[in-house]
Copies of this chain bind each other. A is one copy, B any other.
């Protein structure tokens, strides 16, 4: 289960690590499109677009269906639920860590100020 989630996160984050693939997801969220239409839209060869769609399909972000000679792409079942959770969890610990650091700095400033007052006396 944990292994499965890890593999899924690997595939989805890798799929999102490309501007064309993020663009394709944006495009498909507005409506289904053929591979040819996507290749045209993103000014790319058909082979190049097929590769990008393949990566998105592997991550469950896109599904495709071939009817006759046309392969139609639509957004897939992956809602990026686990990915969202992972990032949210990281942001939480990040905030906690930097708040703790802020606390240390405030404490140092307070001590510095106290020392300054003592000296002036």
Contact = CB atoms under 8 A, between A and B. Distances in A.
Chain A interface extent, by class: 20 to 34
Contacts of A86: 16, 22
How many monomers of this protein are in the complex?
2
Contacts of A91: 79-81, 84
A6 B16 CA distance: 11
Interface of A: 6, 9-11, 13-14, 16-19, 22, 25-26, 29-30, 75, 79-81, 83-84, 86-88, 90-91, 93-95, 97
Interface majority SS on A: helix, strand, loop or mixed?
Answer: helix
Contacts of A88: 84
A16 B29 CA distance: 24
